[in-house]
Structure formats: C-alpha cells, structure tokens
Amino acid sequence: MSSELWRLSAVEAVHRLKKKEITPLDLIDASAQRISEVEPALNALPTLCLDRARDHAKRIMAGKANEAEGEAGWLAGLPVSIKDLTDVAGVRTTYGSPIFANHVPAKSHPLVERIERKGGIVVAKSNTPEFGAGGSTFNEVFGRTRNPWNTSLTCGGSTGGGSVSVAAGEVWLAHGSDHGGSLRRPGTYCSTVGLRPSAGRVTRGTSNNLYSPQSVQGPMARNVPDLALFLDTMAGFCPQDAMTFDAPAVSFSAAVANPVAPKRVAFSADFGGRFELDREIREICTKMARRFEELGCIVEEVSPDFGPVDDVFMALRSQQFVVDREQQIEQHRDLIKPDIIWNTELGLKQTASRLAWAERERAALYRRMNEFFRTYDLFVTPGAPTAAFDVNLRAPETIAGKKLENYMAGSTLNSAITVTGSPALAVPCGFDQYGRPVGLQLVGKPRGEAALLQAGALYEKLVGLDRLLPIDPKQGTVPPLQA
C-alpha cells in the first residue's frame, strides 16, 4: 500500500488518516521509500529524521499527542519537510552554512513546535542556500538541489528543497520562508504553489529581525487546498513574535472549499515597463492571466506605482543582513559566501538618512497599494522574469538579453511585492517551449489570504496543472539563453 500513498494530496491523506484507513507510520514508510528512490537525482532532503518521526507517529496513534485534534489545520500524522534554516530539536540543522555544519539544536523553532502540535510529523530537513540568501538552492554543506522537471536546471531559492520535496512526492507539505521571493520563485520553477503570507500571519519566533515585515515563514504544497490546510496549521498568535495575530474564525481550508472569484483583476507583466523579462515568459503570462476572464472577472492591464522600489528593497534588505550577519562575518568571514558579505557591507555603508528615506518610501508604497486595492481585488504578475536556469549558476546570466548587475536583480518582480506588505501566491500557469514550468504571482490585499487563496483555487481548477504532480525526476539539458 505504501508504494502509492505518496501520490495522495495532503487533504486526501489527512482525510484517510482521520478515518483510520491509514496510519502515520504508513505515510512515513511511503515517504521514506519515495525519498530513497528520487533523492539521488534531486538532493532536496539531505537530512532525514525517520526514527524521530516514527516516535512522534506512535505518540499520535496512542492518543498522547492529539491535544490539537479538531482544530483548524490538524494534520493527524502527515509527514512534512522543514527548511534547514529552521531548528528542529535533536535534528542536524545547518542553515546551509559550513559554520553550522554539525549543529544539532536542543529546542525546536516555535513554528516547528506549532506544526508538530497540530499533528505534522517532521521527516526531513529541506536544502537551502547559505542562510537562505540566493535564488538558486546550493551550499557548501550539501551541494545543489535539482529541478525535478529537468535535473540540469535550478529549482530556485531559497525554499528550493521544500518545493522539490512536494513536487517529487517525497512529502505532502513543505515549510519555507520568504524575503525576496523564496517561497514564490521555487513554486514558479517547480510548478508547485508557494505562499508568502502577510507579516504576522505566521510566527517567525526566534528571528533577530522580529519587528521587520520583510522576512516571513509560510507553506508550500502541490495544490491550493493543500496549501490552505498547511496555512491553517501555521497561522495564529505566538507570544514569541510580537507581530503575530490570531488565526481567522473561518479557516483557510473552509474559505477555499467555497471560493468566490475576484471581481476586478489587474495584470502587469513588467509593472508598467519598469522591469525586464524574457519574451516568452511575457507572452505566456499575459495570455494565461487573461484566463481569469473565464471565471467572470474583469481583467485590465494596469500597475500600481511602485516608485523607487528596487532601491528601497535593497536598503531594507541590507539593514536586515547587518542585524543577522554582521557578527558572523566578523568571526567567520572566510566561511561565508561573497553574496552575503556584499549584501551585509552594503548595509554597513548606509547612512541613517538613507534608511529613513527607505522607510518613508515603503510607507508611501503601502498607501498607494491600499488605494489600488480599492479598485482591484487581485493583482497578477509573472512569477519570475525567466524560466529555470542552469543548476550550476547562482543567478540567471541574463534577463531579456541583458546581464544582471547583482544576484538579486533577477528577483525584482517578487521583492517589489515584499515591500508592499501584501500576501502573494505562486501558481503554475504553463510551460515554455523547452518544457520548463512558468507561473503567475497572485497578489492580494494585506491580511487578505482567504480571498487570495480562493482566487488561486479557482484559477488552479480552471488550468488543471496541479494534476501533473507529483512527478518522477526527468533528465534534460540546459536550454539556450532567451531574449
């Protein structure tokens, strides 16, 4: 039986767990078998904790870890992966860094504690770039994670291992985090769904940047109903994170089960000509965004005014790197990759006046977005400016034939949305001529995850690409650069 359980959706698997048709141990066996089959080609889950998982499963089956049964987001013993930036008690957690190559935390991150309390069973840690910095998933500890659609290509970053783990059927749900697109870009590149929630929706727990809305924790899955289930697992007030707030009275799963289409949808391929993207990506995304009209939506090509958002994001990101990495660079500079040092030193060179300017611009953009959402219910953009690139590169070499200035320059479509404070959802929308996944980024109103997921669920059902997952890894070659 376990040989086929990996094909179940998370919602289906939890339903069968609740009815006692299968056990958590059955699913752990199915996950372990699938991991052994595909990991050599993918390297998505480099650290397994199967004995720990089975101990947790036995506690659930004995009724000793069921205090959250009946609550929204109860997973009933479903195996999940946790990003290797996030502590799991007793499990090797490296943050993708040689500095912490042998680190084993004694205590789990508050979000992991919440997931486990809600019946999620951690079976593995998913691969990530060093400290989560980068749009391609590789590090000096575990190496490169490969895209299951074409193992010569990147899976994106920084929740690359998480996205691959659900796409290939290794687990049913994956935890991740997002600063400049780290849940959205891997979703786009692997044809999965990834949600960047509103700040405060999900606890960040132990973060030193506790009062910054830039980095958030969130879910990845194969389809929107599964994603909504995992968001229910994660969401809610946490006393260790002052920005968090209570979960909604109506669960996200219930909202997705009774979806309401947005009335007015705004679409922009390049935010009014501000950003570059490859021609084929532009054509596919423009065509597929129009499919919202089949749901009865009014679709208009229009963009909010993003102002100097590139500079604002980099100023705020660099300050966050100073908080997180300044002391580590002082102590271990030779062990930290150049991109992190560069980003941190940008922050150290900034003046207080520059940071004050960035904060004023961020506030002004939030107000403009709020006004924009008085007219439109949903803002749709491409999920990425390029399709997945060579797995051996840290970033795409070019976008629309133009070389990138730095490793973050290929993430602007995502990082601009980060600055707005809006939740954003990556959904698959097709494939390019070389079979590489293409996705849309759906952007909702602040704290509007329910309506955003409803729109995503309706679009997903219309397009039907979720039915292609999970997949077996495919070998391939790197396509030529596009204009």
Domain boundaries, the chain: 2-468
User: For the residues of 344-373, what is the DSSP string, one character each?
Assistant: HHHHHH--HHHHHHHHHHHHHHHHHHHHHT
Q: What is the pLDDT of residue 341?
A: 97
Kindly indicate the confidence band of residue 406, based on its pLDDT and cuts at 50, 70 and 90: confident
The amino acid sitting at 471 is I
**128 three-state secondary structure:** coil
Burial class (CB in 10 A: 0-12, 13-18, 19+), 2: middle
Fold of 2-468: Amidase signature (AS) enzymes (3.90.1300)
**Residue scoring higher pLDDT (409 or 321):** 321
**17 three-state secondary structure:** helix
* Mean of all residue pLDDT scores within the chain: 97
pLDDT in tens, 326-379: 999 999 999 999 999 999 999 999 999 999 999 999 999 999 999 999 999 999
What is the distance between the alpha carbons of residues 276 and 404, in angstroms, rounded to a whole number? 10
Dihedral sign for Cα atoms in the order 149, 41, 469, 443: negative
pLDDT in tens, 190-222: 999 999 999 999 999 999 999 999 999 999 999
What's the mean pLDDT in 301-315?
97
**Residue scoring higher pLDDT (410 or 171):** 171
Place of tokens 């150049």: 338
Kindly indicate the confidence band of residue 483, based on its pLDDT and cuts at 50, 70 and 90: confident
Q: What is the pLDDT of residue 362?
A: 98
What's the mean pLDDT in 286-303?
98
pLDDT in tens, 98-156: 999 999 999 999 999 999 999 999 999 999 999 999 999 999 999 999 999 999 999 99
Per-residue pLDDT at 299 exceeds 70: yes
What is the distance between the alpha carbons of residues 155 and 161, in angstroms, rounded to a whole number? 8
Between the alpha carbon of residue 256 and those of residues 63, 200, 296, 368, 449, the distances in Å are 29, 21, 18, 28, 10
Per-residue pLDDT at 2 exceeds 80: no
What's the mean pLDDT in 450-455?
98
- Cα of first residue to Cα of last residue in the chain, in angstroms, is 48
Burial class (CB in 10 A: 0-12, 13-18, 19+), 288: buried
Q: What is the pLDDT of residue 105?
A: 98
Q: What is the pLDDT of residue 405?
A: 82
Per-residue pLDDT at 404 exceeds 90: no
Percent of the chain exceeding pLDDT 90 equals 96
Place of tokens 């593995």: 124
Q: State the virtual CA torsion across 131, 347, 447, 203 in degrees, nearest 10.
A: 40
Q: What is the pLDDT of residue 197?
A: 98
Per-residue pLDDT at 1 exceeds 70: no
**207 three-state secondary structure:** coil
Burial 69-101 (b: 16+ CB within 10 A, else e): eeebbbbbbbbbbbbbbbbbbebbbbbbbbbbe
What's the mean pLDDT in 428-440?
98
